[in-house]
Structure 1
Amino acid sequence: MKLPALDLLPNRPVLVALGGLGLLLALAVGPVSRAIDAQAEIAAARDRLARAQAASTRPPQPAPLTAPDADALLAAFRARLDGLAANRAVVIDAANYEPDPAQPTLPRLRAYLRGTAEGLHGLLHALETEAPLMAVEAADLDVARAADEDGGRPLVMRASLTVRGVQLPPPPPETGGRAP
């Protein structure tokens, strides 16, 4: 059986129009999909820009307590405690350095203090909010002496604090400009 020639078909203009429409759709899909991808990338970039702008308006975080070695870190911790206790009713009984084998650059620093509840509260608040920043890992509070209303003596408390300091790693050895 022989097929009729295309020029004899009555639907030839419709077939040509559908073929042209299909070609136009095929050509339009590429730019449209690239435009949709570009729109998603622009939205992500705007989100990153908004987060960066918000971060730039925040005040900088205070630096943590750092020192190059254990003795310097303990001395800096003790000096920080002495400075904070000077304006408060707080006495520093002891300050110790305790290395942490699991985190060698974040040793524990322990302090044993006595003072009024207000003095200890103010010292703890200053440790956690003022530079150099120290996060209190553990704190034990106990009554050292009860208040004496008749004698006018305030309540005296004992506090045992554990904070983390940052021990800076030693600088890399000098190679004199040569590769090791």
Structure 2
Amino acid sequence: MAKLSLAEAVKLKSVLSKRIHELEDEMDRAAFIEVEKGSKLPKQARTLQNVEQDIEEVRKDFRLLDKLMYQANIENNILLETDSIPIVEAIELATQLRAQARKCKEYGAAPKEEYVHSFSETVSIVRTATFEPETYRVKAIELERRANKLSNLINAINYTIELEFDSEKYF
């Protein structure tokens, strides 16, 4: 059987998903036809059954590819500083680092102190940050750097892992 790198599998999974959506649209076109009452139905190039057969084949390939990718992401590790972690954990960590960086950027862009609209003419309300915005701005940069480094490690290993999958029908 042909082999496919994990990096190519990520792209192929997207291709298969798109193909499933296209076939679902084709199912809708093949399932209904408008004709004058009593008229003979015109011959269709592809029947609903033809399209259903194709979509089932693509879905089966999608499930197999998904399973192989999950197995590879669990069985293969990335060396991250001093720890070796499964790819699946590294992917989640990169996602979490990006989310943390987004929040830190938000705090890093906040003013240290700002006046808040008050309903009273005699009382001034000030919204004061309980943190140093500059500290969070710098922290966001570091978190984003770590997430990018981790993503690069994931991408690099994805090209070295091969899956037993025949992608000839799609690539």
Normalising by the residue count of structure 1, what TM-score does the alignment of the two structures yield? 0.23
Select the structure of larger CA radius of gyration: 1
Q: Which structure would you say has the larger RCO, counting Cα contacts within 8 Å and 6 or more residues apart? A: 2
Of Structure 1 and Structure 2, which has the larger fraction of its residues in helix?
2
Higher strand share: 1
TM-score (norm 2): 0.24
